[in-house]
């Protein structure tokens, strides 16, 4: 399930890169402008994928399981 938001986030990043490098907004070009309902919907979906992908920061690198943050907070250095 995490691969779909990650894939859409990559597409959104590539679109942003095209805007920055060559001033072409691919989503706006496909949807007929950046102020259309379809383009705004796609931008909202990409934003939701970015928010979902924040949870990837809390995964263990080796096993793919979530890190228990409460155990980390209890540890005293």
Cα 18 to Cα 10: distance, rounded to the nearest angstrom: 12
The pLDDT of residue 52? 87
The pLDDT of residue 55? 82
pLDDT mean values, one per 10 residues, the chain (77 residues): 85 93 94 93 92 81 61 55
In total, how many domains does the chain have? 1
Q: What is the pTM of this model?
A: 0.70
Radius of gyration of the chain (CA): 17
The pLDDT of residue 42? 93
Domain containing 40 equals 3-74
Cα 50 to Cα 38: distance, rounded to the nearest angstrom: 19
Helical spans, DSSP H, in 1-67: 3-22, 26-31, 37-53
The pLDDT of residue 71? 58
């Amino acid at each position: 399930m995490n691969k779909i938001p990650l894939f859409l986030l990559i597409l959104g990043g590539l679109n942003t890169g095209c805007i920055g490098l060559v001033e072409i907004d691919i989503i706006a070009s496909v949807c007929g402008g950046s102020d259309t309902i379809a383009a705004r919907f796609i931008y909202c979906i990409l934003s939701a994928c970015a928010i979902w992908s924040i949870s990837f920061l809390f995964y263990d690198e080796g096993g793919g399981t979530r890190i228990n943050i409460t155990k980390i907070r209890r540890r005293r250095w």
